[in-house]
Amino acid sequence: MPVKETPAKEEKPRQDKSYNPQIIEKKWQAKWEANQLYRSVIDKSKPKHYALTMLPYPSGDLHIGHWYAMTPADARARYMHMRGYNVLFPMGFDAFGLPAENAAIRDGVHPMKRTFQNIEKMRKQMKSMGAMFDWEREAISAAPEYYKWTEWFFIQLYKAGLAYRKMSAVDWCPNCNTTLAREQVWGDDRHCERCGTPVIKKDLDQWFFKATKYADELLKFDGIDWPQTVKTLQTNWIDRSEGASVVFKTEIGNHNVEIFTTRPDTLWGATFMVFSPEHPFVDEITATENKQAVEEYKTQAARQTEIQRGAADKEKTGLFTGAYAINPVNQERIPIWIADYVMMSYGTGAIMAVPAHDERDFAFAKKYKLPIVFVIQPEGESEAEQGERNTAYTGPGIMVNSGPFNGTKVNTEKGRKNPGIAAVLDWIAEQGIGKESVNYRYRDWLISRQRYWGAPIPMIYCEQHSWNPVPEDQLPVLLPEDVEWKPTGESPLKLHPTWKNTTCPVCGEPATRETDTMDTFMCSSWYHLRYLSPKYDKGPFDPAEYDYWMPVDTYTGGIEHATMHLLYTRFFHKAMRDAGIVKGDEPMMQLRNQGMVLGEDNDKMSKSKGNVVAPDVLVDKYGADSVRAYIMFFARWEMGAPWDPQGIEGTVRWVRRVWTLFTDPTPPTTVPASDEVTKNLRRKVHQTLRKVTRDFENFEFNTIISSLMELMNEMYKAREAGAAGSNTWKEAQEIYVKMMAPVTPHIAEELWSQLGKPYSIHTQPWPTVDEAATKEDSIELPVQINGKVRDRITVPAEATEDEIKSAALASEVVQKYLEGKEPRKVIVAKGRLVSIVV
RNA sequence: GCCGGAGUGGCGGAAUUGGCAGACGCGCACGACUCAAAAUCGUGUUCCCUACGGGAAUGAGGGUUCGAUUCCCUCCUUCGGCACCA
């Protein structure tokens, strides 16, 4: 790509030397764009760095939260660029989704039109930020050339046996009029992650991705540098538990009822079974005389929401079915109950109840007078004593009443680490009554959405041949433009008169298309791949680009996606790795999360609360550089903070004062600086450089700005002392502007140019710390006596421990405290302090 | 109930390996400039006292250490996640 020269526009010589961000920011943005400063192309002579920040939904307005996420990410990408990396820092839009469709229902404006208008506006707003986004690589998930490949990926998942259709009770948001994946239902009241409406259950035939196949691998985070909190959230979300699956037989029908238990060592204590009211065997096994009561209980349980059923402190209720099962370890006949504390959605929907060693089962047994048999005895406790218990016993002990295992030790470890469990696991396998088993809370990913504005699910249904994917050469399945906007709870695609009619790819007979669209998290699971080659049409990405840029080196974004996007994209990557489409085990090597900017009132920013901060207004008033600097300065990035509208004055002053320091032609003194002044200045410059470098590495953006402020204050003092014009001064200026460049790219470029340096500062190498220059000549050490600072001594930096010690002891103050006595102990922490114990 | 993060001046925050707590900034006060104001520049700004000097203080209490914001234990507050999970 040839570098275009900007037409040399003759500007009038500046009359006004004062800082005018509106002029210089526009000037440099135009120049950078004109000569494609931020175009990232493969360059095998350089190490690559793929910096990715989560892409926004095109709501139509860039708010301060976007700046908070993007500006530090941009600054760091710029820093990496100056460190010599070939940096890819792309941007795009997660452009499918409900808001645009809901707006269409409201006012009839087509989501396509609105979305692309919004993108237009936001792209312009983003450009005012002065970020180094490579817009040639922009990807928009709602564009056909993008969603063609989202559809293609669905087919690859289908071919890999990872996409399946199932009728089940799924979560439905009555406000969004669509189903949601388990991850998208939040909180105690089980509300929709997007709109906050409590969800309900609906029985629907839906497409799922078999994410659970990767549960174990998703628990491994080897080789990736991700925050512990995210790893913990994902681990808890998947919630692996080790145990056994054991088969109990029903008397009636001789059905095999599989149960999951984490405590196979307590099998001999299973004195009854509890089925979830929805369990498929309930109707058949229920005795005639119990039928009516059971039906009533089922109806009542179904009427309750899962929240009500899930309330842990709720009094347990249940009902005897009249049926019995056989405990396979001791052939005991045990009653089968139904109770709503057993959930169809976890495990198998049926449990063995061991009241002696499980609190819930104990409470249930007490209430309904069911037998309680203790099979784990704490050491030193007699059977009689145990019979007195009024709680379940869950601690360690010895197995009793357990046939061949009497006397076996049980500890509190889970799974095979527990000797009792390990022994029973082997035995049940031998006996053929059960096996070692792992259960997860993690569910398969429900991908179907009953909405229009999403990527079509590229599947066709034929009476003869059931479901088949759309042939790949017919992709994309395009969204029809002429649809009616009705909030019916069914996809508008279903109501379209002709769109769904097609032919079966197997037999060619008339068939119908799937009218649901995909969860937009499917689009964002692979956007980092589309950035590699957004115009490529032979595949989702150009393999040459993939081989050079992937994996993502640094990924930044909000932690709210811990169990959604960040889990989906890992699953997606692993599934596509196994399909031979991508390489490596993980898509993103390093992850860092930013916090959230809250409103002044400490509340989440929202239009309805009227606490939204508009960055455009700030940019108009102060310039993008000052806003960028404030964003990075005002809070710890990973923590976030409520917005303080006054605080921005601090960074505005800093930027102006730097401007003045560099452009004021009349230094305050003509007296040349002493060697000491220049040496001290140079020391401070290199110390600051070391600090700023380290802070960029560690994503500690706030202290980058404060260090730069500190150095500026020192430079003002040095200038006062005559340092201006010296070589040290020139070096200080040069390093200073380079350090500013990632944070405040426009003013840095302008000052760089005014220093007479060649365009562009953003292609300059990051300066190197002169370690020798950072060394202090003499250091002031505090002297502590019994832990309190009583004096300070100044010693040469290279003073030995003994020299420091005698200097400290020689101090008058120390002598006074010693009162002529010998100190008990003198500790010299070199370069830190002297501690004297009297 | 379980898991994880956080708690430091009026406010945002700093303190890198256990070594001077409060860097840097906001705000505030005073001063300079000005007819005046804004802007700008300068000085001060944790709290308490009898103020030359001394004492206390990093959510609370305890411990380890010459020395703890930092490590350990108990607890409190707060935010987030999970939860009749078998």
Through-space separation of residue A68 CA and nucleotide B20 C1' in angstroms: 35
For range A816-833, the mean pLDDT: 80
A235 CA from B63 C1′ (Å)? 34
> Shortest CA–C1' contact from A716: which nucleotide?
B41
* A4 within some domain: no
Protein-to-nucleotide distance from the CA of A800 to the C1' of B60, whole angstroms: 42
Q: How far is the CA of A646 from the C1' of B28 (A)?
A: 13
How many Å does it take to go from CA A714 to C1' B44? Answer: 19
Q: What is the pLDDT of residues A473-519, one digit of tens each?
A: 999 999 999 988 877 777 889 989 899 999 999 999 999 999 999 99
Nearest-CA residue to the C1' of B13? A635
Domain boundary among A732, A748, A773: A773
Distance of A147 CA from B81 C1′ (whole Å): 33
pLDDT at A10: 31
A545 and A451 part of one domain: no
In tens, the pLDDT along A406-436 reads 999 998 888 898 999 999 999 999 999 999 9
Chain B positions with an atom below 7 A of a protein C-beta are 3-6, 11-16, 19-21, 23-27, 40-42, 55-56, 66-68, 81-86
SS3 A378: coil
Residues A270 and A386 grouped into a single domain: yes
Rounded distance between C-alpha atoms, residue A110 and residue A115, angstroms: 8
Q: A452 and A369: one domain?
A: no
A311: Cβ–Cβ under 8 A, 6 or more apart, which residues? none
User: Is residue A821 scored above 80 in pLDDT?
Assistant: no
Question: Is residue A78, in this structure, part of any structural domain at all?
Answer: yes
Looking up residue A565, the CATH number of its domain turns out to be 3.40.50.620
Give distance CA A690 / C1' B43 (Å).
Answer: 31
d(CA A813, CA A808) in angstroms, rounded, equals 9
Q: What is the pLDDT of residue A115?
A: 97
Which residue minimizes Cα–C1' distance to B14?
Answer: A703
pLDDT digits (tens, 9 = 90+) for A158-203: 999 999 999 888 899 888 889 998 999 888 778 888 888 888 888 8
Give the CA-to-C1' distance from A823 to B71 in angstroms: 27
Which nucleotide is closest, CA of A562 to its C1'?
B81
Q: Quick one: pLDDT at residue A798? A: 81
| Interatomic CA–C1' length for residue A237 and nucleotide B82, angstroms | 7
Same domain, A562 and A460: no
Domain of A294: which CATH number? 3.90.740.10
pLDDT category at A79 given cuts 50, 70, 90 is: very high
Residue A788 to residue A784: CA distance in whole angstroms: 5
The Cα A40–Cα A32 span in angstroms is 13
- Inside any domain, residue A247: yes
Q: Whose CA is closest to A246, among A441, A374, A430, A428?
A: A428
Co-location of A419 and A282 in the same domain? yes
Amino acid at site A496: H
Contact A592, A638 (CB under 8 A): yes
**The tokens 């114990």 sit on which residue?**
A837
Tell me, yes or no, whether A762 and A655 share the same domain.
Answer: yes
Residue among A348, A326, A347 nearest A336 (CA): A326
Under the banding of pLDDT at 50, 70 and 90, the label for residue A308 is: low
Nucleotide nearest to A792 (CA to C1'): B20
Q: Which nucleotide is nearest to A229 (CA to C1')?
A: B4
Mean pLDDT score, A676-691: 94
Nearest residue to nucleotide B19, by CA–C1' distance, is A832
Partners of A501 in the β-ladder: A512
CA A247, CA A428: separation in Å to the nearest integer? Answer: 10
A270 and A418 inside one domain: yes
Å: A56 CA to B82 C1': 28
**pLDDT digits over A710-768, tens only?**
999 999 999 988 888 899 999 999 999 999 999 999 999 999 999 999 999 999 999 99
Residue A35 domain flag: no
Per-residue pLDDT, A488: 75
Q: Is residue A270 located within the same domain as residue A379?
A: yes
C-alpha pair distances (Å), A719 with each of A202, A465, A762: 73, 84, 27
| Same domain for A494 and A469 | yes
Give me the percent of chain A exceeding a pLDDT of 70.
96
Separation in Å: B47 C1' and A832 CA? 27
Q: Please say which residue of A598, A628, A657 terminates a domain.
A: A598
Q: Which nucleotide is nearest to A317 (CA to C1')?
A: B84
- 3-state SS, A609-659, equals CCCCCCHHHHHHHHCHHHHHHHHHHCCCCCCEEECCCCCHHHHHHHHHHHH
If asked whether residues A286 and A434 sit together in one domain, one would say yes
Give the pLDDT band (50/70/90) at residue A336: very high
Residues A115 and A252 in one domain: no
**Which nucleotide has its C1' atom closest to residue A707's CA?**
B24
User: Both A535 and A411 in a single domain?
Assistant: no
In a domain, A9, yes or no: no
Read off the tokens for A97.
Answer: 């989704």
Shortest CA–C1' contact from A182: which nucleotide?
B82
| Res A3: pLDDT | 40
Model pLDDT, residue A307: 56
CA of A636 to C1' of B8 (A): 15
Return the closest nucleotide (C1') to the Cα of A641.
Answer: B12
Q: Which one of A392, A416, A440 terminates a domain?
A: A440
The number of folded domains in chain A is: 5
Distance in angstroms: CA A502, C1' B12: 61
Q: What is the span of the domain harbouring residue A127?
A: 47-149+522-598
Q: Please name the nucleotide lying closest to A782, CA to C1'.
A: B20
Distance measured from the CA of protein residue A798 to the C1' of nucleotide B66, in angstroms? 23
Question: What is the DSSP code string of A285-345?
Answer: HS-GGGHHHHHHHHHHHHHS-HHHHH-TTSPP-EEEEEEEEE-TTT--EEEEEEETTS-TT
**d(CA A602, C1' B56) / Å:** 32
Smallest CA–C1' separation from A439, nucleotide: B85
Percentage of chain A with pLDDT > 90?
70
Residue A581 within any structural domain of the chain: yes
The residue lying closest to nucleotide B65, measuring its CA against C1', is A787
pLDDT recorded at residue A13: 34
Give the nucleotide with minimal C1' distance to the Cα of A306: B84
Residue A18 within any structural domain of the chain: no
Q: How many angstroms is C1' of B13 away from CA of A429? A: 60
Domain of residue A802, CATH code: 3.10.20.590
Name the closest nucleotide to A833, judged by C1' and CA: B19
CATH number at residue A660: 1.10.730.10
- Range of lowest pLDDT (A120-124, A441-445, A800-804): A800-804
Q: Strand, helix or coil at A20?
A: coil
Mean of all residue pLDDT scores within chain A: 91
Q: Is residue A32 part of a domain?
A: no
